[in-house]
């Protein structure tokens, strides 16, 4: 499985756009990129998934460059409730290790 | 996800005891997973099952065993619990679908403390 690297933590103010970048240099041709969100003492929740270019849903956008060696999760106008850990996973949608994720803290 | 139920939600027990954590789902998914989460270490995969007759070890299966009693039920056992198995345990499910990239749906977790 492709190894991923993402920042351990990030800070933001309410109302700002937050971009979390994940590196995955050895991504395989058939791999997808999936992001999850986890609040304290809750199970992770699927946010978005993509293969290439850009994917957008009601929660976030996912930008994937042509070489697919990285991806960026974009959260528009974050609120305090977006404080959570965000995990980037690469590979098939099963048997994945989530790693440590990025801890995002949003403050007023 | 309310469709993925873990029992018990909290458990405190002693070293050497046998413990079973249970997971049931009403999503109709054929794939189920067990993870553990330790502070600062993210989630690590213990076991996963693609159907009732298919069970596979994950990254940290030593000291654990599982049983897939039915499509909807997947239990995790600690045969002889030790303190370093104190953690938050999550069950997850996913659909096999038409591909292999179906997102996982998680239960609310079982907080296990071993004294």
Chain B contact residues (CB < 8 Å to A) = 1, 4, 31, 33, 35, 40-45, 48, 50, 56, 58-59, 88, 90, 92, 94, 99-109, 111
CA nearest to A39 within chain B: B108
Question: Taken in order A13, A15, A17, A20, is the CA torsion positive or negative?
Answer: positive
Q: Which of A30-44, A67-81, B6-20 has the lowest mean pLDDT?
A: A30-44
When the pLDDT of each residue in chain A is averaged and rounded to a whole number, the result is 92
B6, pLDDT greater than 70 = yes
B98, pLDDT greater than 70 = no
Residues A19, A39: Cα–Cα separation, whole Å: 18
- Put simply, the answer to whether B42 touches A45 (Cβ < 8 Å) is no
Q: How far apart are the first and last CA of chain B?
A: 30
Residues B86, B66: Cα–Cα separation, whole Å: 17
Yes or no: say if A92 and B101 are a contact pair by the CB < 8 Å rule.
yes
Non-local CB neighbours of A84 within 8 Å, separated by 6+ positions: A37, A38, A39, A103, A104
- From chain B, the residues in CB contact with A98 under 8 A are 35, 42-44
B9, pLDDT greater than 70 = yes
pLDDT tens string A71-97: 999 999 999 999 999 999 998 766 577
- From chain B, the residues in CB contact with A87 under 8 A are 42-43
Q: Count Cβ atoms within 10 A of the Cβ of residue B61 and give its class: 0-12 exposed, 13-18 middle, 19 or more buried.
A: middle
* Lookup result for tokens 């553990």: B36
Residue B46's Cβ-side half-sphere holds a number of Cα atoms within 13 Å equal to: 26
Question: Taken in order B27, B31, B103, B41, is the CA torsion positive or negative?
Answer: positive
When the pLDDT of each residue in chain B is averaged and rounded to a whole number, the result is 92
Q: What is the mean pLDDT of residues B55-82?
A: 95
pLDDT band at B99 (very low <50, low <70, confident <90, very high): low
């Amino acid at each position: 499985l492709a190894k991923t690297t993402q920042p351990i933590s990030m800070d933001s103010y309410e109302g700002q756009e937050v971009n979390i970048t994940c590196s995955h240099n050895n991504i395989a041709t058939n791999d997808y990129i999936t992001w999850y969100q986890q609040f304290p003492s809750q199970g992770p929740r699927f946010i978005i998934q993509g293969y290439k270019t850009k994917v957008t849903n009601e929660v976030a956008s996912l930008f994937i460059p042509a070489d697919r060696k990285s991806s960026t999760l974009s959260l528009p106008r974050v609120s305090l409730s977006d404080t959570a850990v965000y995990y980037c996973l690469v590979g098939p949608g099963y048997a994945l290790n989530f790693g440590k994720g990025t801890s995002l803290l949003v403050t007023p | 996800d309310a469709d993925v139920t873990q029992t018990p939600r909290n458990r405190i027990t002693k070293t050497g005891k046998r413990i079973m954590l249970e997971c049931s789902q009403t999503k109709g998914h054929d794939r189920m997973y067990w993870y553990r989460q330790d502070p600062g270490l993210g989630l690590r995969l213990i076991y996963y099952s693609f159907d009732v007759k298919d069970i596979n070890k994950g990254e940290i299966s030593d000291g654990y065993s599982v049983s897939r009693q039915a499509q909807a039920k997947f239990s995790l056992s600690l045969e002889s619990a030790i303190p370093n198995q104190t953690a938050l345990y999550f069950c997850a499910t996913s659909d096999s679908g038409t591909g292999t990239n179906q997102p996982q749906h998680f239960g609310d977790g079982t907080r296990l403390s071993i004294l």
